[in-house]
Amino acid sequence: MLRIAIQTKGRLHDDSMQLLAEAGIKLTAGKRLLLSPAKNFPCEILFLRDDDIPQSVADGVADIGIVGENEFLEKDQKAEIIKRLGYSKCRVSLAIPKGESYSGPEYFNGKKIATSYPVILQKYLDEKGIDAEIHEIMGSVEIAPGIGLADAIFDIVSSGGTLVSNGLKEVETVVTSEAVMIGNKKLTPEKLEIVEKLNFRIDSVQRASGKKYIVLNAPTDKIPAISELLPGVNSPSIMPLALEGWSSISSVIEEKTFWDEIDELKKLGAEGILVMPIEKMIL
How long a stretch of residues is the chain?
A: 283
Residue 276 is predicted with a pLDDT of 93
Residue 91 is predicted with a pLDDT of 95
Residue 235 is predicted with a pLDDT of 82
Domain 90-176 listed as CATH 2.30.42.10? no
Model pTM score = 0.85
Q: What is the CATH number of domain 2-88+178-207?
A: 3.40.190.10
Mean pLDDT of 22-41: 87
Residue 218 has pLDDT above 70, yes or no: yes
Domain borders along the chain are 2-88+178-207, 90-176, 210-277
Which pLDDT band, with edges at 50, 70 and 90, does 31 fall under? Answer: low
Other C-beta atoms closer than 10 Å to the C-beta of 170 total 17
In angstroms, rounded to a whole number, what is the distance separating the alpha carbons of residues 229 and 231? Answer: 6
Residue 44 CB partners (closer than 8 Å, separation 6+): 1, 2, 3, 4, 35, 36, 37, 38
Mean pLDDT of 247-275: 92
| Fold match flag (90-176 vs 210-277) | no
Q: Determine contact, residues 46/161, Cβ cutoff 8 Å.
A: no
**φ/ψ (deg, to 5) at 166:** -110, 20
Q: What are 7-20's pLDDT values in tens digits?
A: 999 999 999 999 99
Burial environment of residue 236 by CB neighbours within 10 A (0 to 12, 13 to 18, 19 or more): buried
SS3 content of the chain, % helix, strand, coil (to 5): 35, 35, 30
Q: What is the CATH number of domain 210-277?
A: 3.30.70.120
Mean pLDDT of 33-56: 94
Residue 38 CB partners (closer than 8 Å, separation 6+): 25, 26, 27, 28, 44, 45
Q: What are 142-174's pLDDT values in tens digits?
A: 999 999 999 999 999 988 889 999 999 999 999
